[in-house]
Amino acid sequence: RDVSLEVEPGQSLAVVGPSGSGKTTLLNCCSGLDDIDGGRVSLDGVDLHALSDAERTSNRASSMGFIFQAYNLIPVFSAVENVELPLLLAGTDSKESRRRATETLERVNLGHRLKHRPAELSGGEQQRVTVARALAGRPRVVWADEPTGALDSETADNVMDLLRDLNAEGLTLIVVTHDEGVGTSANRT
């Protein structure tokens, strides 16, 4: 109640708290995934919750990326197909979608695993596919919900290093986590 939060472009913000404290709910409300009962969420001056469902979906597709702890990869799709699907759904032509998906997977060091399905990838590789999927649409902001929660500490460090590098290049990053170590990697907690 009575929360006000402003995140500047290019900033990284970590929302840290124990399980059940409302971190994911906050992320879902701020990104427009969930409806809100009151207040306002504005992205670049646009009130997300004043938009229709279709407009909000379009806004998410064009300006946001999502990284979920559960990966949410489609099991029958290869890594490159999982990354290109949101691009296709957003109206990018198939050739450009494949090019961007491949390029983004190469950027997260998975160029050699393009044709592998999720079951053929390690947990860290699946999370990097999820990161690539979030980045391929060239979003203005990436929302990350416990992005390292299911990973061993070395793999988690690698994923966070990648996210820090992307943030250093200007990507706005909002991470929710229970891990105070992940939280300290942000510009702001």
Q: Locate 83 and state its tokens.
A: 């990354």
Which residue do the tokens 């990354």 mark? 83
Residue 151 has pLDDT above 80, yes or no: no
pLDDT in tens, 101-144: 999 999 888 999 999 999 999 988 998 899 999 988 888 899 99
- State the Cα torsion 63-69-74-78 to the nearest 10°: 90
Which backbone phi and psi does 115 adopt, to 5 degrees? -95, 0
Q: Are 136 and 84 in contact (CB under 8 A)?
A: yes
Q: What separation in angstroms does the CA of 91 have from each of 66, 97, 102?
A: 18, 9, 17
188 DSSP 8-state letter: B
Least confident range from 11-15, 24-28, 47-51, 183-187: namely: 183-187
Q: How far from chain centre, in Å, is Cα 149?
A: 14
Least confident range from 6-15, 69-78, 115-124, 147-156: namely: 147-156
Closest alpha carbon to 88 in 31, 137, 128: 137
Least confident range from 23-27, 112-116, 144-148, 170-174: namely: 144-148
Residue 175 has pLDDT above 90, yes or no: yes
**What integer pLDDT is reported at residue 161 of this predicted model?**
84
Length of the chain: 189
Is 184 exposed, middle or buried, given 0-12, 13-18 or 19+ CB atoms closer than 10 A? exposed
